[in-house]
Structure 1
């Protein structure tokens, strides 16, 4: 399916690794010119270079979105070669070890700043151009914890609920403008870092030595109807679809993508 992204420019925040990198690569494979964002210039440039070697169009934007100055730097770099049509707010942090009694208000404030306000910074900087041109896509990457929180990392769950709410509120603001706003609430993601963590934990629990042995047991702790932990590309494919004209009637919603997760 041709997603009609040729000629569009996309900024994917937090795309120097993990899910963001997978999204940037998928958009580039569909013909979009992508801006790879990160705080580490070496890693960010390596992703952009790899995309170009694969035949895609990619530039970089370096900056810390947790600050107004950093967001301004990212904006300036992102629009250097043309306006941004697609904004994917993927950058974020999490702390799986956090608990209510051990998470001070300062940690909540930091989590909210990085996961929510950073997205707002980029929306406010890039949205006016989309509205003026009468076309654009704003996509928030959140988590299923936003609607299904657990006792652990409560501040992370709260920020994802905020991201989902932000997406819907923005859609109301953008009505009849040609710009849509949606969120993708992701379940588990098998990024390289997550793979290392789960394999290490699986070996410690005696689940086996290989990923093929460990994954079924890991999935059993948080089961889903598909039966595996999602690969980054499985989310990137959905984001690429939302970014194109074919998804023009999808607006103001949060798409929960978790393989049919259920409680045991």
Structure 2
């Protein structure tokens, strides 16, 4: 399927590694010029260079979106051409966080990074989309915003906020040609997630290999009807569709991509 992304320009926040890097690669492969964002210049440049080596168009923007100054730096680095697609992927989490040990300052800190960073990019890039009459804004959230657990309460709350933000923005942008949606992800098989789950599996006696550990980890931590953790490419393909002109009738929606995650 031709997603008609040739001539479009996309900024993917937090794309120097993990899911963000995969989203940037897929958008570039579909013909979009991508801006790889991160705080570590070497890592961001490595992703951009890999995209260019595969024939794609990629530049780099460096800045800490948890600050206004960092967001201004990203805006300045992206000023060479209009940004048509904004993918707010940046987010942090801590699987060890719990109610008794997570201080209010940590709640405020994760909210700033996971939610207010999106507000900063929206305020800097969406007015131009609206003026041109076309644009796509996509929040990457988590299914934990709908199915919170006792652990990581601050992370779950920020994802509920990201979904809410996407809907509110869609109302703000009605009749403008700019859509706003969220993708609520289930587990994402990044290298760091795989390392964490594999170690957890060994400690819990679920097995020694990934093939042994994955189904038991899913059953214990995030039961779903597919029976495995989602692969980054599966999320990136969904984001690419939402970023395309083909998705013009979808706005104000949170699309759950979670294998049918359900309460245990």
TM-score range, shorter chain: over 0.9
Please state how far the C-alpha of 1:17 moved relative to its aligned partner.
Answer: 0.5
TM-score in terms of structure 2 length: 0.98
Q: Tell me the residue number matched to 1:136.
A: 135
Residues 135, 177 of structure 2: 8 Å contact kept: yes
Residues 65, 120 of structure 2: 8 Å contact kept: yes
Q: Tell me the residue number matched to 2:120.
A: 121
Q: Tell me the residue number matched to 2:240.
A: 240
Q: Give per-residue Cα distances to partners, 1:192-227, cap 9 Å, x unaligned.
A: 000111111112222222111111111111221111
Q: Tell me the residue number matched to 1:90.
A: 89
Structure 2: stretches of 5+ with no match in the other structure = none
Q: Distance in 2 between matches of 1:79 and 1:92?
A: 24
Q: Tell me the residue number matched to 2:67.
A: 67
Please state how far the C-alpha of 1:62 moved relative to its aligned partner.
Answer: 0.3
Q: Give per-residue Cα distances to partners, 1:98-137, cap 9 Å, x unaligned.
A: 1111111100110110001000000000011101110000
Q: How does 1:8-157 map to 2 (within 5 A)?
A: 8-80=8-80, 82-157=81-156
Partner secondary structure for residue 184 of structure 2: strand
Partner secondary structure for residue 130 of structure 2: helix
Q: Tell me the residue number matched to 1:201.
A: 200
Q: Which moved more, 1:70-79 or 1:58-67?
A: 70-79
Structure 1: stretches of 5+ with no match in the other structure = none
Q: Tell me the residue number matched to 1:179.
A: 178
Partner secondary structure for residue 37 of structure 1: strand
Please state how far the C-alpha of 1:249 moved relative to its aligned partner.
Answer: 0.3
Q: Distance in 2 between matches of 1:208 and 1:194?
A: 17
Kindly indicate whether residue 6 of structure 2 is the aligned counterpart of residue 6 of structure 1. Answer: yes
Q: Distance in 2 between matches of 1:201 and 1:153?
A: 17
Q: Give per-residue Cα distances to partners, 1:216-264, cap 9 Å, x unaligned.
A: 1111112211111001111001000000011000000111110011222
Q: Distance in 1 between matches of 2:79 and 2:102?
A: 38
Superposed CA RMSD in Å reads 0.8
Residues 38, 62 of structure 2: 8 Å contact kept: yes
Q: Give per-residue Cα distances to partners, 1:121-154, cap 9 Å, x unaligned.
A: 0000001110111000000000111111111111
Please state how far the C-alpha of 1:35 moved relative to its aligned partner.
Answer: 0.2
Q: Distance in 2 between matches of 1:160 and 1:150?
A: 13
Please state how far the C-alpha of 1:3 moved relative to its aligned partner.
Answer: 0.3
Partner secondary structure for residue 100 of structure 1: coil
Kindly indicate whether residue 226 of structure 2 is the aligned counterpart of residue 226 of structure 1. Answer: yes
Q: Give per-residue Cα distances to partners, 1:2-61, cap 9 Å, x unaligned.
A: 000000000000000011011000100100000000000000000000000001000000
Q: How many residue pairs were aligned?
A: 263
Q: Distance in 2 between matches of 1:128 and 1:201?
A: 45
Q: Distance in 2 between matches of 1:220 and 1:155?
A: 23
